[in-house]
Amino acid sequence: MQYKVFNGHSDYAFKVYHEQRMGNTSDLKDNYLPLMKKGGVQVEVFQVGGDFAIPHAGIDGRDTLTCLQILESNLAQIRANPDEFYLITDGDQLSTAKDDPRRGIIFSMEGASALAQGPQMLSVFYELGLRSVALTHNPKNVFADGCAELESNGGLSNVGRNLIKKMNELNMMLD
């Protein structure tokens, strides 16, 4: 029996971005697609930013411009391979993903620091395909305390509440 896998968290978007900066514009198809097929992965959630840095790759997931570049490099490779990949942007696409021969990708953020410049940034990322956001990764940010904040018990900030309100208006997933 062939199973279809939904991988709810992948950092491969960072590798796609890193490889593209090195001149490899087909990493997603050439290197990752065979692994997805072998593992039966039908849908994968790609992290395109977060409250962390990857120093050895020169990536800061908290930086808005870097996150936009990560998202764009992945979008370019998805669009270049429409017979293999597609971007999932709504519930209907997700509900029919198991019957689609292509691999579906959902863009997410593992911490919302890149959105701290204001609610308009969420709209920009949404237009580019972002559909899920975790407010924090481990440390606190302007939106909320993270799980590493054992002493403060600060919970959501007013800015965090406003971000959630905007996410709800856009029908986004809160991770």
Please indicate whether residue 146 or residue 41 has the higher confidence score (pLDDT). 41
Evaluate whether the domain defined by 5-174 bears CATH number 3.30.2320.20: no
pTM of the model: 0.95
Per-residue pLDDT reduced to its tens digit, 18-67:
999 999 999 999 999 999 999 999 999 999 999 999 998 899 999 999 99
Rounded to whole angstroms, the Cα distance separating 3 from 98 reads 10
Domain coordinates in residue numbering, the chain: 5-174
Q: Are strands 173-174 and 41-50 parallel, antiparallel or unpaired?
A: unpaired
Tell me the C-alpha distance between 28 and 25, whole Å: 8
Over residues 147-166, the pLDDT tens digits come to 877 777 778 999 999 999 99
Buried b (16+ CB within 10 A) or exposed e, 21-32: eeeeeebbbeeb
For all residues of the chain together, what is the average pLDDT?
94
Mean pLDDT for the stretch of residues 132-144: 92
Cα dihedral 70→121→104→69 (10° resolution):
-10
Query: For position 1, what pLDDT does the model report?
Result: 46
